[in-house]
Amino acid sequence: MERIFLDKLAGWFTKAVAIFSVGILVLMILGLLIKSDQILSTSSLSKLLLSSEWKPSKGDFGFLPFITGTFIVTLIAMVISVPVCLMSAIYLTEYSGKTARGIVKSGVDTLAGIPSVVFGLWGILFIVPLVRDIIAPAFGVETSGYCILSGSIVLSIMVVPIILSIMEDVILSVPEDLKEASYAVAATKWQTIKYVVIPKTAHGLFSAVILGFSRAFGETMAVLMVVGNVAVHWKSVFDPAYPLTALIANNYGEMLSIPLYDSALMFASLLLLVIVVAFNLMARYILARMKTEEG
């Protein structure tokens, strides 16, 4: 009987731990909500989101420049990264041999493991001078190099592993028969890719992009190190920006000395959490639906 009892006990234990992990999430959301409540009761939600006035000592907390900063850095990163990832994924799955794909895959896996501080350091050493001395002069602009474009370039490389690996998986899931049918009517490889593979996988490719987007959106250290961190109204990609994540990371020291500041930063965290989670769930939902349609 002891065996049976132990078995039951182990089962309950797994259940308790699993419930605990849901509990962490609930606790976090509740905690952030409670802390954000203070600031939400002094300024309205629309004022917090749409005002550009950021004077914590006067109690003005307008998040607009930080929100637009996060979005622009992330969007440009995706504009750079997505075409490269898509073409790479197509090349690796349809054109190159298995060996080449294996080698690139282990390279990309390595890239995935590199800490974001190292990306940031590389950004300072390589991307910032590149933007300052080569890219900006080419457009006739002067910049310190610590700007939106630098942040976006660093981010665009950081999201390669997640976007590329999902895109590869998605393209590989296209049944061989479908492609054979296309080849049978004398279509070239690219025609097959254009008319069969991409339409067939559009949803999956899209969800890879969203997952990459949400990863980039929440990235902190690497962006913080190269993006300049000035809460200005940026006019070009050579201007600095101040993303939400950098705002939180840079100000925890002050947040205790100024009233409402901690609440404002928790509101920023909540905002990040809600946006990132929404994107994530959307991507998961699309991928899961694709699986059931296939299966």
Partner 1 sequence: MELRRIEEKVFKTIGLISVTLVVACLLAMILTVVVKGLPALNWQMITQTPKGGYYLGKEGGILNAIIGSIYLAGGATILAFFISLPTALFLQKDYYGKTKLAELVRLALDVLWGIPSIVYGAFGFVFMMYVGMRASLLGGIISLTFVIFPIMTRAIDEILLTIPRDLKEASYAVGATKLETTLSVTIRQAAPGILTGVVLAFGRAIGDAASILFTAGYTDNIPSSLLDPVASLPLAIFFQIGTPYVEVQQRAYASAVILLIVILLLTSLTRLFSRMSENYAVK
Report the site for partner 1 in 14-53 (rule: CB under 8 A). Answer: 14-15, 17-22, 24-25, 28, 31-32, 35
Among 43-51, 60-68, 113-121, 144-152, which window interacts with partner 1 (CB under 8 A)? 113-121
Measured CA to CA in angstroms, residue 295 lies from 96, 134, 185, 219 at distances of 28, 51, 27, 34
Contacts with partner 1, 73-112, as mask; x by CB under 8 A: ----------xxx-xx-xxx--xx-------x-xxxxxx-
Smallest gap from Cβ 67 to partner 1, in A, equals 15
Q: Which is nearer to partner 1, 132 or 215 (CB)?
A: 215
How many angstroms separate the CA atoms of 39 and 54, rounded?
Answer: 14
- The CA–CA distances, whole Å, from 90 to 12, 94, 109, 159, 199 equal 46, 6, 18, 17, 13
CB atoms closer than 10 angstroms to residue 3: 7
Among 77, 248, 264, 286, binds partner 1 (CB under 8 A): 248
**What letters, b where the CB count within 10 A reaches 16 and e where it falls short, cover 48-69?**
beebeebebeeeebbbbbbbbb
- Helix, strand, or coil here: 132? helix
Shortest approach of partner 1 to residue 148 CB, angstroms?
19
Regarding 119 and contact with partner 1 (CB under 8 A), the answer is yes
Tokens 């590329």 -> residue: 164
Cα 157 to the center of its chain, rounded Å: 11
Binder among 55, 98, 113, 292 for partner 1 (CB under 8 A): 113
Regarding 116 and contact with partner 1 (CB under 8 A), the answer is yes
Give the one residue of 117, 172, 178, 232 binding partner 1; rule: CB under 8 A: 117
What's the min distance (Å) between Cβ of 47 and partner 1? 22
Which listed residue (33, 45, 125, 181) binds partner 1 by CB under 8 A?
125
Residue range at the interface with partner 1 (CB under 8 A); choices 38-46, 55-63, 172-180, 269-277 = 269-277
User: How far is Cα 265 from Cα 261, in angstroms, rounded to an integer?
Assistant: 6
Using CB under 8 A as the binding rule, the residues of this chain from 177 to 196 that contact partner 1 are 188-191, 193
Question: By CB under 8 A, what part of segment 131-150 binds partner 1?
Answer: none
Q: Alpha-carbon distance 196 to 144, whole Å?
A: 46
Q: What is the dihedral of CA 236, 153, 248, 218, to 10 degrees?
A: 120
Q: How far is the CB of 235 from partner 1 (least distance, A)?
A: 27
